[in-house]
Amino acid sequence: MTVSGIDVASYQSDTYSTTGLGFVLVKATEGTGYANPRHAAQIATGRRHSLVVGHYHFVRPGSMTAQATYFLQHAAARAGDVLALDWEDTGVTGAQKDAWIEHVQAAAPRNRVLLYCNRDFWLHRDPTSFAGDGLWIADPGAPAGRPRVDFHWTIHQYSETGGLDRDVANFANTAALRAWAAKGTPAPAHEPFPGVAWFTLGRRSPVVAAMHARLVAVGCNHYASSANKDVIGSGDVASYEAWQRKYNTEHHKGWTGAALKWPPGKETWDALKVPNV
């Protein structure tokens, strides 16, 4: 099940319809020189109708610290509000978007911080797969709640209808979304299985470094060194295949052939217990 929502900016009404909605995400700022003049009124409409509200920043090239500070000053978020980075400018690197998210997470510990981007940015421009507390993915070519990414998503922007961007949040109901936004639901202890397609050579991510550490810890160390341990390489392939052979033997699975080869499968990934990063 999912929760319906919308996202709005200055060109939408302050008094948008909230019928059937559980949340609204409102543009607050862009760069360090633009603040949405309707932001406060659009947020007030959401609060008045008991929606979970969020604020987002359209990032531009420049200082990420300055933009994060500008955003937080103008958003004036309350505890339990969602914060998000809108990453659409090709002049902003993956490392810079990571820096913005990390700065806001540190400065606003009572709020969830999301990354918004489209599939092209996520699949072809993002070298780290870092999305803060959750991925808000734009994929209007996919049915609602079925974005075409092999990664745990939090919000899917799936269409524009009636002049509004339409979204669904990956929660059973609005109460569950509100509890998560308020940090009433702890982060999972272990990284969820990111999908087979995620395990591509050359991918850089803190999850890869965490996997590296776990493979060493369970006695499947086939790494030549610990350099670039956050990048998937031949050492990860050899070490993970050793883990699959070990798991197969210890749990009497009877796997052979391709079942023991790279890439990882969900069962052995869950059993490896890669810590949440």
In one-letter notation, the amino acid at residue 43 is I
Cis-peptide, bond into residue 263, ω within 30° of zero: yes
Catalytic residue among 14, 86, 88, 89: 88
Please confirm, yes or no, whether 81 is among the known catalytic residues: no
Q: What is the pLDDT of residues 111-149, one digit of tens each?
A: 999 999 999 999 999 988 999 999 999 999 899 999 999
Q: What is the pLDDT of residues 176-230, one digit of tens each?
A: 999 999 987 565 678 888 888 889 999 988 889 999 999 999 999 999 988 888 9
Q: What separation, in Å, do the N-terminal and C-terminal C-alpha atoms of the chain show? A: 26
Q: Does pLDDT of 276 surpass 80?
A: no
pLDDT of residue 236: 96
Handedness of CA 85, 88, 94, 100 (dihedral sign): negative
For the question of whether the overall pTM of this predicted structure is more than 0.75, the answer is no
CA dist 127 and 235 (Å) reads 19
Please confirm, yes or no, whether 88 is among the known catalytic residues: yes
Domains and CATH numbers, the chain: 3-181 (3.20.20.80), 196-272 (no CATH)
